[in-house]
Amino acid sequence: MHQLTSAELIQLWERGHEMPPARRAVALAEAALAGQDGPAAADLPIGDRDHRLMLLRGRLFGPRVSGQDSCAECGTVLDVSFDLGALAAGHAPATTPVAVRLGKRVLRCRPLTTADLIAAAEADGPDFRAGLLARCVTGSDGQPATDLPAPAMAKVMSALSAADPLADVRLAVTCGECGQQWDTTFDIASFLWTEICATVERLLSDVHVLARAYGWSEAEVLAVGPRRRQYYLQAVGA
């Protein structure tokens, strides 16, 4: 997997600010896949895409993830942490379509991709989920299944989630104060993007300080290793 340099991270941050979340997730996955053969990031099952984002996050910031959530019952703010490496290590690529039986009818459901999400969102139809499933669910005649009632849609979505678990990661949380239990969603794409933004803002602050102090260009500042850069920042009182 490609290890992003500081300059590449800044370029990715600059491009990503102009993108909607789904396209930004693709851009992050493409950065992780740079130089590798295989399908385009947008055409990967969402769980496969997010698996690559988890690996990228581990290389950039380490495997431990820490965050916070609040209890809806008592309002207590809880620290939530887990090992992202262990979650990523258990991933199995979602390459096989899932068969879902509805009475005598059998549907063939392939894993959802980011391209599906983008197309369904940009189609601006009255029912996003119906538009999404029409792209990846076919009947025995090979035609898109566009006439699914709500219970059938729910069954299809449940089967797809089971076949591609990293596409919808839920963490079990228990409030230590009142005992309330719930599942919280972990979205690696938005979480990683938040971390990248914070990191790039620190990098640009370093560039600003050292460029003013020493007359270096951005490229020259970024070429200095983190340990030496910190020394120079301390030397100028930053």
Question: With bands split at pLDDT 50, 70 and 90, how would you rate the model's confidence at 36?
Answer: confident
CB atoms within 10 A of CB 10: 19
Long-range contacts of 163-166 (CB under 8 A, 24+ apart): 163/94, 163/96, 163/98, 163/111, 164/45, 164/46, 164/47, 164/48, 164/94, 164/111, 164/112, 165/47, 166/46, 166/47, 166/48, 166/50, 166/51, 166/54, 166/87, 166/88, 166/91
Tell me, what's the pLDDT at 49?
95
Mean pLDDT of 208-219: 96
- Whether the per-residue pLDDT at 103 is higher than 80: the answer is yes
Tell me, what's the pLDDT at 141?
83
Tell me, what's the pLDDT at 1?
64
Sign (positive/negative) of CA torsion 114, 115, 120, 124? positive
Question: With bands split at pLDDT 50, 70 and 90, how would you rate the model's confidence at 2?
Answer: low
CA distance 104 to 177: 49
Mean pLDDT of 89-113: 89
Q: What percent of the chain has a predicted confidence (pLDDT) above 70?
A: 99
- Whether the per-residue pLDDT at 41 is higher than 80: the answer is yes
Tell me, what's the pLDDT at 124?
75
For residues 35 and 204, which has the higher predicted lDDT (pLDDT)?
A: 204
Question: 129 vs 10, 119, 136, 149, 155, CA distance in Å?
Answer: 35, 12, 11, 11, 13
- Whether the per-residue pLDDT at 69 is higher than 90: the answer is yes
So where are the chain's domains?
6-91+180-231, 98-163
Q: Tens digit of pLDDT for each residue in 106-154? A: 999 999 999 999 998 888 777 888 888 889 999 888 888 878 888 888 9
For residues 190 and 103, which has the higher predicted lDDT (pLDDT)?
A: 190
Mean pLDDT of 174-181: 95
For residues 90 and 62, which has the higher predicted lDDT (pLDDT)?
A: 62
CA distance 152 to 158: 10
For residues 3 and 205, which has the higher predicted lDDT (pLDDT)?
A: 205
- Whether the per-residue pLDDT at 185 is higher than 80: the answer is yes
Return mean pLDDT, the chain.
Answer: 92
